[in-house]
Amino acid sequence: MIKYGKTLAICLAVLLMAGCGGPPAEKIEKARSVYSELVNRHNEVIEVYADVEDNSLDGELDGMAEKINLIGQQDVEQMSEEELDATIEELQANIAMYDGLLESIGQMRGIEPADNASSISVTIRNNTGVDLQEVYLYRASEESEKVNLAEDIGGLGGFGVLSIVNIYMTGEETVWHLEALDTGGKIIESADIGFDGYQNKEVTINMEYSFDSMEGWIELE
């Protein structure tokens, strides 16, 4: 399988040139260093992603490449020190996102789907209004293999959305388990989900919660 990804070059000609009245030199140097790290991280992710049999991240990676290029074209001479600080924070946040993508792709590389395996593209939508610190989705028979999907993004907000790369299953393993815990460790959602009939499709798992009954439930669409 041949994949195309936008590989970025480190191009900071404008961002690194400060004129009179611009931000302090040390701030510009920090922006240069963080931007360089971000570009390198993007290229690392593209290289690793090219080796997996999954194209679910194509649009996201191309969109991030465009975003990084736009950041690199900003004119530092027109920035205040506060604006440059905000730009540096944005760069660092994007590095954290790439770290999460790199881990997800690593998990994808570790999956060797059987010849009769089907894939499902899953999105988890948190409609509970509760901030979640831990979110798990795993084969019901393999609890020991569960991984906190919200760890790399610092938790899933009260109305946040979590996009997951494709999950793979055979006809004998269509039941998965969803579990979500709030910041205090309380279980907000815990349910088995039967994916039979959803093979090779996109599925959104809506997590709902009633503060009257103090119970949660899930709905698929």
- Residue 105 burial (CB count, 10 A): 22
- Residue 188 burial (CB count, 10 A): 22
How far is residue 65's CA from residue 207's CA, in Å, rounded to a whole number?
31
Superfamily of segment(s) 118-220: Domain of unknown function DUF5300 (2.60.40.2890)
pLDDT of residue 37: 81
Four-CA torsion 90, 93, 99, 100, nearest 10 degrees = -120
More confident: 194 or 162? 194
**Mean of pLDDT over the chain:** 77
Per the CB < 8 A criterion, the answer to whether 194 and 174 are in contact is yes
How far is residue 148's CA from residue 67's CA, in Å, rounded to a whole number?
28
Q: Express each pLDDT in 53-93 by its tens digit.
A: 677 777 788 888 888 878 777 776 677 888 888 888 888 88
Confidence band of 47 (pLDDT split at 50, 70, 90): confident
Domain boundaries, the chain: 25-110, 118-220
pLDDT of residue 62: 81
Residue with tokens 């991984």: 147
N- to C-terminal Cα distance for the chain? Answer: 30
More confident: 214 or 119? 214
Does 6 have pLDDT greater than 60?
no
- Segment among 10-24, 43-57, 168-182, 193-207 with least mean pLDDT: 10-24
What is this structure's pTM? 0.51
Give me the DSSP letters along the chain: ------PPP---TTTT---TT-S-HHHHHHHHHHHHHHHHHHHHHHHHHTTSS--TTHHHHHHHHHHHHHHHT--GGG--HHHHHHHHHHHHHHHHHHHHHHHHHHHHHH----TT-EEEEEEEEE-SSS-EEEEEEEETT-GGG---TTTTTT-B-TT-EEE---EEE-TT--EEEEEEEETTS-EEEEEEEE-TT-TTSEEEEEEEEETTTTEEEEEE-
Q: What is the mean pLDDT of residues 126-147?
A: 87
